[in-house]
Copies of this chain bind each other. A is one copy, B any other.
Amino acid sequence: MGLIVQKYGGTSVGSVERIHRVAARALAAQAEGHQVVVIVSAMAGETNRLLGLAEQVSQGAPSGAGIIPDQRELDVIAATGEQVSSALLALAIHARGGRAKSLLGHQLKIRTDSAYTKARILGIEADAVRRALADGAVAVVAGFQGVDDDGNITTLGRGGSDTSAVAVAAAVGASVCEIYTDVDGVYTTDPNVCPSARKIERISYEEMLELASVGAKVLQIRSVELAMKYSVPIHVRSSFSDVPGTWVTGEDRAGRTGAATGSLESIVVTGVACDKNDARVMLVSVEDRPGVVARIFGDLARENISVDMIIQNAAVDAAGRTDVTFTVNKDDLPRVRPVMEALLEKVSAQGLRYDESVAKVSIVGLGMRSHAGVAARMFELLAAEGINIQAISTSEIKVSCLCDAKYAELAVRALHDGFGLGNAPGAKVESHGG
């Protein structure tokens, strides 16, 4: 008994038949005595279709040049995907004899700033949800969308429906935010890369954040941040089965009891992730004098470019020069290049190198805080496979190594099994949707 929020992704509402399956699940939860709020994404493929249409119109200028579409109008278009799926789900619930009411971002309302296509939630006025629930209805909320103070429609960025769901769950004081997806939980690593990957029963917000930030794609990072801030328990599970998935909760509740095998490794590392979206940039032979590095990263920051890993060689050559290496998101490279070229002379460097075939492999685990030697063990495991480490970055509960992209999968398997994350021999590997 309680108030639960369920969020269904695009695949889960991708057809009339699947929408009915979602309706049945929401009504089943209601029949168990819960008040139910459902957040839906657009039907799979719909957002791309809509934005494709916008792109065509914007490229269709008579000059043939095309321009970047206005982001306010893109949001007006994109928001229709969730508008349609929320009303369709309400209709499906009606068709099954239930009560339901669709609620859009501007009706709910989900107040955001005006950063179109990537707006942030400022607050939620959930009276309309409470009224629908009091009326015995399932409140079906269009995810991904909000409204700014001037009544303009905004969207929260790709995967934003997760954030909508957690925000609504926090606003109405839900006991759980269930995120239904096409996989049945969060895995120790990508099962497509590592067959011995297994589903994690419970994981802390902090670990989930680190995993999400280094390449695990099950949950949008912002949704986990929000869940942590408001202590909303998340349950990531499959919309195609009733099997329990992965609980993402506060650290105190995330203590893993069943998985303890007594070995160091099985405790300290929770998951292994891999991210191939970074590119490595190297400024060759830079003068090693005060202020040079600050200038480089200052210029990048002014262009709003996020730098991930940074390595400055300790070794300075006879001429007092060194190399500066860092990584950025590949998507940012077109903006990085002009900044670097302008810097080349200013810091009197001798050259620029870019490498897009790199991968960042990371291990994440709360246990690292109290266990020394985890990073060293990681380097050993990679060295044993002959994998050269190009850069390293660490946080309290994460170690990331940059390596040649061709070794990415090998590195993931070596770390996953080296830290004892795999199934016991002979254990059944659960199927995984992708």
Contacts and interface: CB of A to CB of B under 8 A. Distances in A.
B94 A58 contact: yes
A45 to B, nearest CB: 14
Interface in A9-34: 16-17, 19-20, 24
A279 interface: no
Nearest to A83: B80
Copies of this chain, count? 2
A256 interface: no
A102 B84 contact: no
Interface residues of A, number: 47
A85 to B, nearest CB: 9
A152 interface: yes
Contacts of A53: 16, 84, 88
A61 B104 contact: no
Interface stretch (A65-73, A163-171, A359-367): A65-73
A358 interface: no
A38 interface: no
A135 to B, nearest CB: 13
A66 B84 contact: no
21 contacts: A17-B60, A20-B57, A20-B62, A50-B84, A53-B84, A57-B88, A57-B91, A58-B94, A66-B95, A67-B95, A69-B91, A69-B94, A72-B101, A72-B102, A73-B87, A74-B91, A76-B87, A76-B102, A77-B87, A80-B80, A106-B106
Interface of A: 16-17, 19-20, 24, 50, 53-54, 56-62, 66-67, 69-70, 72-74, 76-77, 79-80, 83-84, 86-88, 90-92, 94-97, 101-102, 104, 106-107, 128, 151-153
